[in-house]
C-alpha cells in the first residue's frame, strides 16, 4: 500500500499571468521593428527610447491582436478601454513608466476548458490587457550593466487567469492550450526561448477541504513548460514544509533558478512598488465599435479545438494522435489540406507525426503526399522507407516514386536474394542462432535489425521474418 | 522711419515681398538688438547669430527665385527652451538638461522651417515651465523690459521679454496654466493659448500633458494670427491632436464682431485684485460696448475648484512625465553614486531645482495608493465641473472677458519665497487649461507705475477666430484712446 505523505493532505491553488509578445510588424507606440535578435540598440527610435518631447501613438494592429486573443479565450471585449501609466524606476524602462492598462483592460471574464485528471475543467480568465515591453539589461563582467532598448515598446498582452488550477499538470495543460491558441491566431511566434510567451505563477497551499486561500507567492522567470512544472512542485513542497514547521508564508516575488532547481525571494510585499497608476494623458481612450469587434470575430482563423474536432470526428484519428498533429500549426494546416485526399488517414497521421518538423514551413505538396500514402497503403513500401522518402521530399520537390528510384529505395522482396543475405548473416553471427535455440525470442529482432542495417532498411520485414523461421527450422 | 525691429509681421512681410528689405538685413537688425540688450534682459539661453544669418541669406536667395510662399518666411523669431530643436540645445532651463541636444525637431519647429522662419535662439523660462516669474530657471534671471527691477512673468518669461525688448519679431511659448498669457500681460505684449489639440505637442518637453499647449507671443493680435495659422493643424505623431481644419490668417481675424456677446464675471473683480487691473478690465468692457459688442456682467461659479484641481492634476502628470530624467540615458548624472538607487537620488536631487521637486513630491503624493481617490480623482471631478460651468456660460455668450493676472509684474523675490502666493496669481488663467479652451491675452492699460495690464478673452473650443477678431478690434480702439490720452 502506498504510504500517505503529509504532502497529500494539501492542495495548491494556482493562477498564472502570461505575457505574450505580439508579432505586429511595428512596435506598440512607434514605427520600429519588433524583430527579435537585432544588434543592440538598432531597432529603436526617440519614441521607444522615451526621449524628451516624444509622444506615443497606439498601433491599431495591437488592439486588433488583443481583441483576437480575447475572443479566442471567450472574453467579453470592453468597447471602452484605456491606457494607463505604471510608474516605476528601473533602467530597463527609459520613461520610468510602462504604458499598460489598469482599470479598464481590453478584455475580461473569459475562460478556457482544459483536460485535467478529472476530465474537462474550466479555468477562468480574469482579464487581458495591452502593454509595452521593457528593454533588456545585460550584465557584463568588464563593462558593467549595459542596456539594450530594442525590446522597449514591443507590444505585449498580459493574460491573467483566475486561481482555478490545482496542480502542475493543470497549469501545464492550460498554458499549452493558451500557447497553441495564440500561435493559431497568428498574433505571436510563441517562442518561449525568445521570451515571446512568458509565465509567472501565483501559488498558495491549503489543507484539502479548506475554503479560504493561503498566502501566495509569485514566481517569475519560468521560460519553459518544464520549468513551470518543476517550479510548482518545488514551491508547493516548500510552502507545505514551512507551514508544517509552524511557520507562515511571506507574500513575496520569487525568482526561479533553473540550474539550482529552486526559487529565491526577490522582494516581499513590503518592498512592493506603489505603481501610481493613472490614465496616460498622451493617449486617448480606446473606443471600439461593436461592428469592428464583430468583423474581427468573423475573420478569426480556425483554432486548435476545431482542428481536434475535425481530425478525431471526421477523419477518425485517435485523440492522442490528433493532439500531436495540432501541436505544430504547420503540420496541422498541412494535415487539414491533405488528410481528406490520401487513401489512409491513420497511416498519414502516423507518418507525419513520425517525422521531425521544426517551426519552418513544410515545403511539400498534397500530390506528393497522396502518392506516398498510396505506396505505403498498398504495401509497396514499408513505413521505414516511407519516412525516408518523406524526409527527401522535404528537401526536393520530386515525387515519391522518383525519389525511390533515384535513391534506390525500393524494398527487397525477392525471396532468393533475401535468403542469400540471411544465410550469410546467420553464418557470421552464430550467437543469434544459439540464442534463438536456447529460447531467447529477442534473437529474432536482433536478426531483423541486422537485416535492415545491411539493406539500409529496404529488406521486406515480413518476408525476412518468414525466411528466418524457415532457416532455423532447418538448422 | 521706424526701425525694422519695431515693425509687425504684417509690415515686415510686405517689405520682404516687395524686396524693400532683405531677410539678412532684418536678421542683422535683430542680432544687433540682442547683442546690445540681452546681457541686461536675459531672454536668451542660446543665441546663434551665425546660423540665423546663414539661413536668412539662403531664404533671400529662395525669394529671388520666387519660391517663397509663407508670410512669416524670412522673419526672425525665437523659441522657448522646452521645444526640441535638432540644431540647438533644449534645456527646459534645468541643470538636468544642461547642454542636451535633441536628435529631432519638434513638430512646430518642422513647421517653422517649412515656412522659412529664421530661428535666432532658445529662450529662458521657469525650470520645466514650473513657475510664474522665470525665477526658477537654473541658468539666469530674465528681466521685464518695461521695468528691469521686475519679473517678466512666467513660465514663458523669455519669450515675452524677447518680444517686448524687440529681440525677436515673435516667439513661441507654452501654456500649461497661464504660461503664455501671464508673461505676455506682464510685458505688455500679446499671447495666444490655443485650444488644446490645435497645435501639436510633439517635441514639446511635457510638463502636464493634458494641459500643455504651444502658442505664439507677438507684438499684436494680427501677428498672433499669422503665427497660429502657420503652426496649427493635425499631427499624426500626437494622439491628442485635433483633425479639424485650420482657418487662414485673414479668416482668423475676419469674424464679424458686432453680434458677439461677452460675459464679464464680476466675482473675479471683487477681491484679491489690484485696483488698476480691475479698472482697466472694466474700461476694456466699455471699449467693447463702444464698438457694438454686448457685454453683460455675470457671476461665474465653481472656479474656486480650478486652482487646486490644476495644481493636483498638473503635478500628478509632471511627477510621471519628469520621472524619465533619472541620470541613465541622457542629462545630468551625479558622480557620487554607489548603487542604482543612489544614482537616481543624487542625480534627481541635484539635477532639479526646488520648485520642480516640490511639484514632483506633490504629484507623487496625489497619485499614491490610499490618496488617489481623495486627490487625483476629486481633481478630475472638479475639472469636469469647471468644464460644465464654461459649457453652460457659452450657451449664452461667445467670449468671456477677465483679467489675465490679479496684479501687474512684481519685483524679483516678491513672491518666490511663498509658493502658494505665486500659485494664486494663476487664478484667472488655469480654468482655461482645465477646460482646454482658447484664450487671448493682450494689453488693455497700465498701472500707476506704468506697468502693463493684460486682459484675457476666453473663447469656446476652436473659436480662435472669434477671440482674435475681437482682440484685433479692441486693439484698434485702444490705440485711438492712447493717442487721445
pLDDT average, residue stretch B463-468: 98
Residues A323 and A340 in one domain: yes
Please provide the size of chain A in residues: 475
In a domain, A4, yes or no: no
The yes-or-no verdict on residue A2 having pLDDT over 70 is no
Given CA atoms A302, A308, A311, A314 in this order, what sign does their dihedral have? negative
pLDDT in tens, B263-321: 999 999 998 999 999 999 999 999 999 999 999 999 998 899 999 999 999 999 999 99
Judged on CB neighbours under 10 Å (0-12, 13-18, 19+), A6 is exposed
Q: How far apart are CA B382 and CA B392, in angstroms?
A: 15
| Subunit contact A95:B201, Cβ cutoff 8 A | no
Residue A144 contacts B, CB cutoff 8 Å: no
| Subunit contact B329:A58, Cβ cutoff 8 A | no
**φ and ψ at residue B304, rounded to 5 degrees:** -65, -20
Q: What is the pLDDT of residue A445?
A: 85
Distance from CA of B365 to the nearest CA of A (A): 9
Which helix (H) or strand (E) element contains residue A376?
helix A366-377
In a domain, A24, yes or no: yes
Nearest to A55 among B239, B317, B344 (CB): B239
The yes-or-no verdict on residue B171 having pLDDT over 80 is yes
Please provide the size of chain B in residues: 485
Given CA atoms A34, A39, A44, A48 in this order, what sign does their dihedral have? positive
Nearest to A282 among B102, B240, B319 (CB): B240
Nearest to B204 among A49, A53, A91 (CB): A53
DSSP B197-266: TSS--TTBPPSSTTT-EEEEEESSHHHHHHHHHHH-S--TT-TT---PPPPPHHHHT----TT-EEEEEG
Q: Which of A292, A313, A347 marks a domain boundary?
A: A292
The yes-or-no verdict on residue B147 having pLDDT over 50 is yes
Nearest to A46 among B90, B104, B204 (CB): B104
Chain B residues within an 8 Å CB radius of A276:
319-320, 364, 367-369, 372
Conformation bin of residue A457: beta by default, left when phi > 0, alpha when psi is -120 to 50: left
| Subunit contact A95:B103, Cβ cutoff 8 A | no
Residue A139 contacts B, CB cutoff 8 Å: no
Q: What angle do CA A346, A352, A354 make, to 5 degrees?
A: 100
Q: How many CB pairs under 8 A join A and B?
A: 98
In a domain, A459, yes or no: yes
| Subunit contact A85:B330, Cβ cutoff 8 A | no
pLDDT average, residue stretch B67-85: 95
Three-class SS of residue B368? Answer: coil
Instruction: Write out the three cell numbers for B201.
Output: 505637442
Nearest to B323 among A89, A91, A274 (CB): A89
The yes-or-no verdict on residue A272 having pLDDT over 90 is no
Residues A235 and A284 in one domain: yes
Q: How far apart are CA B355 and CA B93, in angstroms?
A: 12
Which helix (H) or strand (E) element contains residue A257?
strand A252-257
> Which of B241, B320, B348 would you mutate first to test chain A, the one with the most A CBs within 10 A?
B320
| Subunit contact A52:B97, Cβ cutoff 8 A | yes
Three-class SS of residue A161? Answer: strand
| Subunit contact A94:B328, Cβ cutoff 8 A | yes
C-alpha pair distances (Å), B81 with each of A181, B89, B98 = 50, 8, 11
Query: What is the value of pTM for the model shown?
Result: 0.91
Which candidate, B106, B4, B88, places its Cα nearest to that of B46? B88
Chain B residues within an 8 Å CB radius of A96:
320, 323-324, 326
- Percentage of chain A exceeding pLDDT 90: 66
Q: Which of A356, A375, A406 marks a domain boundary?
A: A406
Which residues of chain B have a Cβ shorter than 8 Å from any chain A Cβ? 83-84, 90, 92, 97, 100, 102-104, 106, 201-206, 208-210, 236-240, 316-317, 319-320, 323-326, 328-330, 340, 344, 364, 367-369, 372, 376
Distance from CA of B100 to the nearest CA of A (A): 10
Domains of chain B: 1-485 (3.90.1300.10)
Q: What is the pLDDT of residue A3?
A: 66
Q: How far apart are CA A110 and CA B470, in angstroms?
A: 57
Tell me the residue range of the domain where A427 lies: 415-474
pLDDT average, residue stretch A87-104: 96
Distance from CA of B236 to the nearest CA of A (A): 8
Residues A126 and A95 in one domain: yes
CB B83 within 8 A of CB B108: yes
Chain A residues within an 8 Å CB radius of B325:
52
CATH of the domain at A443: 1.10.10.410
What are residue B98's DSSP bridge partners? none
Residues A75 and A144 in one domain: yes
| Subunit contact B100:A52, Cβ cutoff 8 A | yes
> Which of A26, A32, A146, A276 would you mutate first to test chain B, the one with the most B CBs within 10 A?
A276
Residues A385 and A461 in one domain: no
Three-state SS sequence of B425-448: CCCCCHHHHHCCCCEEEEEEEECC
Give buried/exposed letters for B443-471 (b at 16+ CB in 10 A, else e): bbbbbeeebbbbbbbbbbbbbbbbbbbbb
The yes-or-no verdict on residue A392 having pLDDT over 70 is yes
Q: Which of A346, A377, A406 marks a domain boundary?
A: A406
What are residue A203's DSSP bridge partners? A14, A217
Q: What is the pLDDT of residue B442?
A: 98
- For β-strands A217-222 and A252-257, DSSP reports them as parallel
pLDDT in tens, A176-220: 999 999 999 999 999 999 999 999 999 999 999 999 999 999 998
| Subunit contact A89:B104, Cβ cutoff 8 A | no
Average pLDDT, chain B: 96
In a domain, A470, yes or no: yes
| Subunit contact A51:B328, Cβ cutoff 8 A | no
Residues 6 or more apart whose Cβ sits within 8 Å of residue B86: B101, B102, B103, B104, B105, B109
Three-class SS of residue A442? Answer: helix
The yes-or-no verdict on residue B97 having pLDDT over 50 is yes
CB B408 within 8 A of CB B277: yes
C-alpha pair distances (Å), B463 with each of A295, B43, B216 = 38, 31, 16
| Subunit contact B210:A281, Cβ cutoff 8 A | yes
pLDDT in tens, B1-57: 579 999 999 999 999 999 999 999 999 999 999 999 999 999 999 999 999 999 999
CB A29 within 8 A of CB A48: yes
Residues A180 and A240 in one domain: yes
Q: What is the pLDDT of residue A40?
A: 95
| Subunit contact A46:B209, Cβ cutoff 8 A | no
Nearest to A53 among B106, B340, B368 (CB): B106
Residues 6 or more apart whose Cβ sits within 8 Å of residue B441: B180, B181, B182, B184, B185, B190, B191, B192, B193, B404, B454, B455, B456
Three-class SS of residue A352? Answer: helix
Nearest to A57 among B237, B326, B364 (CB): B237
Q: What is the pLDDT of residue B485?
A: 47
Query: What angle do helix axes A319-326 and A329-338 make, rounded to 10 degrees?
Result: 120
Residues A49 and A159 in one domain: yes
Distance from CA of A393 to the nearest CA of B (A): 50
pLDDT average, residue stretch B177-190: 98
In a domain, A298, yes or no: no
Model confidence at A1, pLDDT cuts 50, 70, 90, reads low
pLDDT in tens, A131-142: 999 999 999 889
CB B239 within 8 A of CB B225: no
Q: What is the pLDDT of residue B483?
A: 55
Judged on CB neighbours under 10 Å (0-12, 13-18, 19+), A384 is middle
Residues A141 and A15 in one domain: yes
DSSP code of residue A21? E
CB B80 within 8 A of CB B37: no
Residues A255 and A374 in one domain: no
Q: Which residue has the cell 518631447?
A: A53
**φ and ψ at residue A15, rounded to 5 degrees:** -125, 155
Q: Which residue has the cell 541643470?
A: B95
Residues A390 and A315 in one domain: yes
pLDDT average, residue stretch B468-483: 89
| Subunit contact B206:A282, Cβ cutoff 8 A | yes
DSSP code of residue B4? G
Give the chain A residue whose CA is nearest to the CA of B320.
A87
Cα-Cα end-to-end distance for chain B:
24
pLDDT average, residue stretch A98-121: 92
Average pLDDT, chain A: 91
- Number of domains comprising chain A: 3
| Subunit contact A281:B323, Cβ cutoff 8 A | no
Distance from CA of B239 to the nearest CA of A (A): 6
In a domain, A299, yes or no: no
CB proximity under 8 Å: A 273-302 to B: 274, 276-278, 281-284
| Subunit contact A274:B368, Cβ cutoff 8 A | yes
pLDDT in tens, A446-467: 888 888 888 888 888 888 888 8
Q: What is the pLDDT of residue A432?
A: 86
The yes-or-no verdict on residue B484 having pLDDT over 60 is no
Instruction: Write out the three cell numbers for B251.
Output: 479668416
Residues A202 and A79 in one domain: yes
Chain B residues within an 8 Å CB radius of A89:
323, 326, 344
Q: How far apart are CA A140 and CA A291, in angstroms?
A: 51
Which helix (H) or strand (E) element contains residue A125?
strand A119-132
Nearest to B367 among A95, A96, A278 (CB): A278
Q: How far apart are CA B9 and CA B229, in angstroms?
A: 13
Instruction: Write out the three cell numbers for B461.
Output: 473650443
C-alpha pair distances (Å), B152 with each of A151, A277, B42, B156, B209 = 45, 37, 10, 8, 25
In a domain, A454, yes or no: yes
Residues A22 and A117 in one domain: yes
In a domain, A116, yes or no: yes
Segments in A23-76 forming alpha helices (H): 60-72
| Subunit contact A52:B324, Cβ cutoff 8 A | yes
> Which of B323, B360, B364, B434 would you mutate first to test chain A, the one with the most A CBs within 10 A?
B323
Amino acid at each position: 500500500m502506498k504510504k500517505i505523505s503529509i504532502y497529500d493532505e494539501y492542495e495548491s491553488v494556482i493562477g498564472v499571468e502570461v505575457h505574450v509578445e505580439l508579432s505586429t510588424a511595428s512596435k506598440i507606440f512607434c514605427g520600429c521593428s519588433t524583430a527579435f535578435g537585432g544588434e543592440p540598440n538598432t531597432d529603436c527610435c526617440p519614441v521607444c527610447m522615451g526621449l524628451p518631447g516624444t509622444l506615443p501613438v497606439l498601433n491599431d494592429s495591437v488592439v486588433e491582436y488583443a481583441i483576437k486573443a480575447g475572443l479566442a479565450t471567450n472574453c467579453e471585449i470592453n468597447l471602452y478601454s484605456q491606457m494607463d501609466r505604471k510608474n516605476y524606476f528601473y533602467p530597463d524602462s527609459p520613461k520610468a513608466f510602462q504604458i499598460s492598462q489598469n482599470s479598464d483592460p481590453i478584455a475580461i471574464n473569459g475562460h478556457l476548458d482544459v483536460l485535467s485528471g478529472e476530465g474537462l475543467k474550466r479555468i477562468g480568465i480574469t482579464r487581458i490587457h495591452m502593454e509595452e515591453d521593457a528593454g533588456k539589461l545585460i550584465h557584463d563582467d568588464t563593462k558593467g550593466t549595459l542596456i539594450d532598448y530594442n525590446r522597449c515598446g514591443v507590444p505585449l498582452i498580459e493574460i491573467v487567469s483566475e486561481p482555478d488550477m490545482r496542480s502542475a499538470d493543470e497549469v501545464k495543460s492550460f498554458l499549452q492550450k493558451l500557447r497553441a491558441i495564440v500561435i493559431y491566431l497568428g498574433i505571436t511566434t510563441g517562442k518561449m526561448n525568445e521570451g515571446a510567451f512568458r509565465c509567472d505563477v501565483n501559488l498558495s497551499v491549503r489543507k484539502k477541504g479548506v475554503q479560504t486561500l493561503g498566502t501566495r507567492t509569485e514566481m517569475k522567470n519560468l521560460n519553459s513548460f518544464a520549468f513551470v512544472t518543476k517550479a510548482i512542485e518545488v514551491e508547493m513542497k516548500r510552502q507545505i514544509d514551512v507551514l508544517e514547521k509552524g511557520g507562515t508564508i511571506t507574500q513575496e516575488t520569487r525568482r526561479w533558478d533553473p540550474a539550482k532547481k529552486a526559487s529565491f525571494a526577490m522582494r516581499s510585499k513590503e518592498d512592493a512598488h506603489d505603481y501610481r497608476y493613472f490614465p496616460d494623458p498622451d493617449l486617448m481612450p480606446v473606443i471600439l465599435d461593436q461592428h469592428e469587434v464583430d468583423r474581427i470575430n468573423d475573420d478569426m482563423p480556425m483554432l486548435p479545438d476545431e482542428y481536434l474536432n475535425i481530425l478525431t470526428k471526421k477523419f477518425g484519428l485517435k485523440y492522442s494522435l490528433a493532439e500531436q498533429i495540432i501541436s505544430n500549426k504547420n503540420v496541422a494546416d498541412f494535415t487539414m489540406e491533405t488528410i481528406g485526399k490520401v487513401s489512409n488517414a491513420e497511416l498519414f497521421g502516423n507518418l507525419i507525426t513520425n517525422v521531425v518538423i521544426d517551426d519552418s514551413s513544410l515545403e511539400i505538396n498534397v500530390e506528393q503526399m497522396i502518392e506516398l500514402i498510396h505506396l505505403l497503403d498498398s504495401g509497396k513500401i514499408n513505413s521505414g522507407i516511407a519516412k525516408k522518402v518523406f524526409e527527401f521530399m522535404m528537401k526536393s520537390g520530386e515525387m515519391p516514386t522518383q525519389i525511390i528510384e533515384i535513391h534506390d529505395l525500393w524494398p527487397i522482396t525477392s525471396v532468393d536474394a533475401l535468403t542469400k543475405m540471411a544465410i550469410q548473416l546467420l553464418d557470421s553471427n552464430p550467437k543469434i542462432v544459439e540464442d534463438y535455440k536456447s529460447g531467447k525470442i529477442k534473437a529474432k529482432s536482433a536478426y531483423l535489425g541486422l537485416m535492415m542495417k545491411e539493406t539500409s532498411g529496404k529488406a521486406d520485414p515480413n518476408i525476412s521474418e518468414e525466411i528466418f523461421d524457415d532457416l532455423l527450422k532447418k538448422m | 522711419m521706424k526701425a525694422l525691429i519695431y515693425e509687425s509681421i504684417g509690415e515686415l512681410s510686405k517689405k520682404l515681398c516687395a524686396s524693400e528689405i532683405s531677410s539678412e538685413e532684418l536678421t542683422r537688425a535683430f542680432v544687433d538688438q540682442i547683442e546690445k540688450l540681452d546681457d541686461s534682459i536675459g531672454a536668451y539661453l542660446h543665441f546663434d547669430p551665425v546660423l540665423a544669418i546663414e539661413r536668412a541669406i539662403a531664404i533671400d536667395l529662395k525669394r529671388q527665385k520666387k519660391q517663397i510662399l509663407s508670410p512669416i518666411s524670412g522673419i526672425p523669431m525665437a523659441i522657448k527652451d522646452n521645444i526640441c530643436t535638432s540644431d540647438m540645445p533644449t534645456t527646459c532651463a534645468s541643470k538636468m538638461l544642461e547642454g542636451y541636444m535633441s536628435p529631432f525637431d519638434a513638430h512646430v519647429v518642422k513647421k517653422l522651417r517649412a515656412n522659412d522662419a529664421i530661428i535666432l535662439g532658445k529662450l529662458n523660462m521657469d525650470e520645466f515651465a514650473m513657475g510664474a516669474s522665470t525665477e526658477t530657471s537654473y541658468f539666469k534671471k530674465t528681466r521685464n523690459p518695461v521695468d528691469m527691477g521686475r519679473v517678466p512673468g512666467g513660465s514663458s518669461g523669455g519669450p515675452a521679454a524677447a518680444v517686448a525688448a524687440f529681440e525677436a519679431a515673435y516667439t513661441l511659448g507654452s501654456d500649461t496654466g497661464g504660461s503664455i498669457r501671464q508673461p505676455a500681460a506682464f510685458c505688455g505684449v500679446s499671447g495666444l493659448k490655443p485650444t488644446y489639440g490645435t497645435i501639436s505637442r510633439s517635441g514639446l518637453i511635457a510638463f502636464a500633458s493634458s494641459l500643455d499647449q504651444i502658442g505664439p507671443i507677438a507684438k499684436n493680435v494680427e501677428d498672433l494670427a499669422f503665427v497660429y495659422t502657420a503652426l496649427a493643424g493635425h499631427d499624426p505623431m500626437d494622439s491628442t491632436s485635433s483633425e479639424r481644419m485650420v482657418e487662414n490668417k485673414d479668416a482668423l481675424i475676419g469674424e464679424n464682431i458686432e453680434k458677439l456677446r461677452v460675459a464679464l464675471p464680476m466675482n473675479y473683480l471683487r477681491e484679491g485684485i489690484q485696483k488698476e487691473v480691475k479698472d482697466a478690465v472694466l474700461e476694456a468692457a466699455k471699449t467693447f460696448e463702444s464698438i457694438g459688442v454686448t457685454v453683460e456682467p455675470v457671476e461665474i461659479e465653481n472656479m474656486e475648484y480650478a486652482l487646486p484641481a490644476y495644481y493636483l492634476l498638473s503635478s500628478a502628470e509632471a511627477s510621471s512625465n519628469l520621472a524619465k530624467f533619472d541620470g541613465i540615458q541622457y542629462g545630468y548624472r551625479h558622480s557620487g553614486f554607489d548603487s542604482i538607487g543612489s544614482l537616481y537620488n543624487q542625480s534627481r536631487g541635484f539635477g532639479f531645482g526646488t520648485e520642480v521637486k516640490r511639484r514632483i513630491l506633490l504629484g507623487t503624493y496625489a497619485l499614491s495608493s490610499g490618496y488617489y481617490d481623495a486627490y487625483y480623482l476629486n481633481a478630475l471631478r472638479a475639472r469636469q465641473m469647471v468644464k460644465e460651468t464654461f459649457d453652460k456660460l457659452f450657451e449664452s455668450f461667445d467670449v468671456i472677458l477677465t483679467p489675465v493676472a490679479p496684479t501687474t509684474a512684481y519685483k524679483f523675490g516678491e513672491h518666490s519665497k511663498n509658493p502658494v502666493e505665486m500659485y494664486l496669481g494663476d487664478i484667472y488663467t488655469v480654468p482655461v487649461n482645465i477646460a482646454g479652451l482658447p484664450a487671448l491675452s493682450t494689453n488693455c492699460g497700465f498701472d500707476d507705475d506704468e506697468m502693463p495690464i493684460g486682459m484675457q478673452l476666453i473663447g469656446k473650443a476652436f473659436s480662435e477666430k472669434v477671440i482674435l477678431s475681437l482682440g484685433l478690434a479692441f486693439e484698434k480702439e485702444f490705440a485711438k484712446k492712447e493717442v487721445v490720452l
